[in-house]
Amino acid sequence: MERIGLDQSALKAVDDYWEYRRIVGDDDGEKLFTPGQYEEYRKKMFSQRLKNRLYVSYGVPGGIDCKLIGPETQCFCAHRYKQHKTDWEVVPSERPLALPCRVKGCCCPAYEYVPRLGPNPVRCRCKHLPQHHSEAAGHLCKSCNSCSGFQSPYTCGCGQPSSEHQTLVETRLEREARGQPVGRDVPYAAMGGLTGFSSLIDGYLALEISGSGKTITAYNLFVFLPREAKVEIHFYTCMVWCRSHSDTNTL
Ligand SMILES: [Zn+2]
Ligand SMILES: [Zn+2]
Ligand SMILES: [Zn+2]
Ligand SMILES: [Zn+2]
Ligand SMILES: [Zn+2]
């Protein structure tokens, strides 16, 4: 196999591109912003995200966060968190806070996490997968008549049935009031509930590890990490790396 050598300026261009993607997401409509547009976008979104970042988690109200949602985490509608409306100039005052899907033709009214068993989301009592149900509110099944709306008999790792869980979208103040970490300020799009490396591990596993007297090391993290989280860890590693190698933190 032929190896392609990249000189320093090419590497810098690759870094700049990933930094651009993490900040802009799909907001450029697949046509790269001009340097001027990018600068304007960056300035506006950076202050808006510092002020209006939304934190997304999945758990039983009053309990631990069983799962923290990252940009790549799939919704009931099968689209990823980053494909939903996560940036708000003004955060709506009604609760629960609904983050609708932005993908054309998708009727999903609010981001909603569905637990996964390996690569697949859990099934409904009617035995059909989320994708066989309507993504619109009520989640009626399109493949059978016996279903009154998606509900899974699955029991979460925390010991509670998944029906007791909800996807919680909260502001920084609301999250702080629950005593949960809010992490450092980041200018990136759709960070959801990610506030550090340990956010990538399911909440009850993190408790198990700390209960066993072990600290959450990179090794422990990898042993316990669900497959889907590996995309997030790659993303998060790149992000931390880029931040320590670029001047965005002086913005
Ligand atoms: Zn959705
Ligand atoms: Zn969708
Ligand atoms: Zn069904
Ligand atoms: Zn069903
Ligand atoms: Zn749980």
171-228 pLDDT, tens digit each = 999 999 999 989 888 889 999 998 876 676 666 666 555 555 555 555 555 555 665 5
Closest ligand relative to 60 C-alpha: 5
Mean residue pLDDT across the chain: 85
Distance 41 CA to ligand 2 centre (A): 25
Whole-number pLDDT of residue 249: 37
Nearest of 20, 70, 109, 85 to residue 230 by alpha carbon: 70
Nearest of 196, 209, 243, 208 to residue 70 by alpha carbon: 196
pLDDT per residue as tens digits for the range 108-158: 999 999 999 888 999 999 999 999 999 999 999 999 999 999 999 999 999
Taking a C-beta distance cutoff of 8 angstroms, is the pair 170, 54 a contact?
Answer: yes
Question: Among all chains, which residue has been given the structure tokens 């590996």?
Answer: 230
Residue list, CB under 5 A from ion ligand 4: 124, 126, 141, 147
Contacts of 109 (CB under 8 A, 6+ apart): 98, 100, 136, 137
Nearest of 42, 53, 36 to residue 89 by alpha carbon: 53
Helix (H, G, I), strand (E, B) or coil at 222: helix
**Where does the pLDDT of residue 235 fall: very low under 50, low under 70, confident under 90, or very high at 90 and above?**
low
